[in-house]
Amino acid sequence: MKNSDLIIARAKETIILQSNSIANLTNFLDNSFAEAVNFILNSNGRVIVTGIGKSANIATKIVATLNSTGTPAVFMHAADAIHGDLGNIQENDVVICISKSGNTPEIKVLVPLIRNSKNKIIAITGNPESFLGKNADFVLNSYVEREADPNNLAPTNSTTAQLVLGDALAVCLLDLRGFTNNDFAKYHPGGALGKRLYLRVSDLIKNNQLPKVLATDKITEVIVEISEKRLGVTAVTDDNNKILGIITDGDIRRMLSKTIAIESLTAADIMSSNPKTIHVDAMAIDALERLEASNITQILVTDDTDNYVGVVHLHDLIKEGIF
């Protein structure tokens, strides 16, 4: 087995080399970057991102980031482009071309074809004096002094630099578009992050049962209600469905630890008055914050007329991936 200290030392060295390479990119940012951002912002087309080899892998990530933050983007592999996929590029599209050297054969074939179509080219390259750099409309310099591997061969620092410049483009565009939390939720409806931004209490309770008893109901009826509705709680309401209190399964256990003479007891005898409630239209994340703040696992839900309409259980939030 290799020495653990040597492995950790190599890993730290790699991380430091990459972080230094990224930090050095700030020295290369110039008006060309700002002009590229403004051109994409004001374009009526999409962003086509292309590359070959490891740069193509970076291109797919940049496309994903742009699409998820409000800038329509499409990936086009540089090799496939010169074998039919060039038809992906439409009249108003802008092309981001990624290449460390800027001189690969595929790039040298592709760039003139793009220019013939009058589409603007944004180059992300470590060599602004390359064929790509000299033929691009905007050049983003991704130069790194060396790669992170001992042989200075494996694309590591260079691909990280490309990715960071792509992220910088996406973030600047996001900011200039005024991209909001609601926009983010629209593009991420299935993820936990999106759910935190759009899921409401009404969505959580729609499949839950509605446990409730009257203040005058016997304890045996309360126990049955809690057991049957399977939420570990019941609301205590009046005849008009207004909340008077709450009884949890914990309240039942505490009652039984004090007495077994329960025949004469009613819901009003053991309920907690003025329980925590939340409006049915509140955000699910607000329900989570209320539960955490009060150190409870259930909260009663009311509507605009203060009628009792449901229960949110901590398990509902866990199931949705919010907790």
Residue 286 is labelled as binding a ligand: no
pLDDT digits (tens, 9 = 90+) for 287-301: 999 999 999 999 999
pLDDT digits (tens, 9 = 90+) for 141-195: 999 999 998 899 999 999 999 999 999 999 999 999 998 777 776 766 666 666 7
Secondary structure of residue 311 in the 3-state scheme:
strand
pLDDT digits (tens, 9 = 90+) for 232-274: 999 999 999 999 999 999 999 999 888 777 888 999 999 999 8
Min mean pLDDT across 113-127, 179-193, 284-298, 301-315 is at: 179-193
CB atoms within 10 A of CB 129: 11
What pLDDT shows up at residue 94? Answer: 97
CATH topology classification for 4-179: Rossmann fold (3.40.50)
| C-alpha to C-alpha distances, 241 to 142, 214, 261, 308, nearest whole angstrom | 65, 9, 29, 6
Domain chopping of the chain, boundaries: 4-179, 201-319
What pLDDT shows up at residue 95? Answer: 97
What pLDDT shows up at residue 258? Answer: 84
Residue 237 is labelled as binding a ligand: no
Closest to 101 (Cα-Cα) out of 84, 123, 126: 126
Is residue 72 pLDDT above 90, yes or no? yes
What pLDDT shows up at residue 189? Answer: 63
In the predicted model, what is the mean pLDDT of the chain? 92
What pLDDT shows up at residue 262? Answer: 82
Is residue 201 a contact partner of residue 284, using CB atoms and an 8 Å limit? Answer: yes
What pLDDT shows up at residue 41? Answer: 96
Residue 83 is labelled as binding a ligand: yes
Angle formed at CA 36 by CA 187 and CA 16, multiple of 5 degrees? 80
> CA-CA distance, 75 to 96, in Å (whole number)?
10
CATH topology classification for 201-319: CBS-domain (3.10.580)
What pLDDT shows up at residue 182? Answer: 72
What pLDDT shows up at residue 38? Answer: 97
Q: Are strands 308-313 and 94-99 parallel, antiparallel or unpaired?
A: unpaired
> CA-CA distance, 128 to 137, in Å (whole number)?
11
What pLDDT shows up at residue 112? Answer: 95
Across the range 121-129, mean pLDDT stands at 97
Is residue 28 pLDDT above 80, yes or no? yes
pLDDT digits (tens, 9 = 90+) for 206-241: 989 999 999 999 999 999 999 999 999 999 999 999
CB atoms within 10 A of CB 67: 17
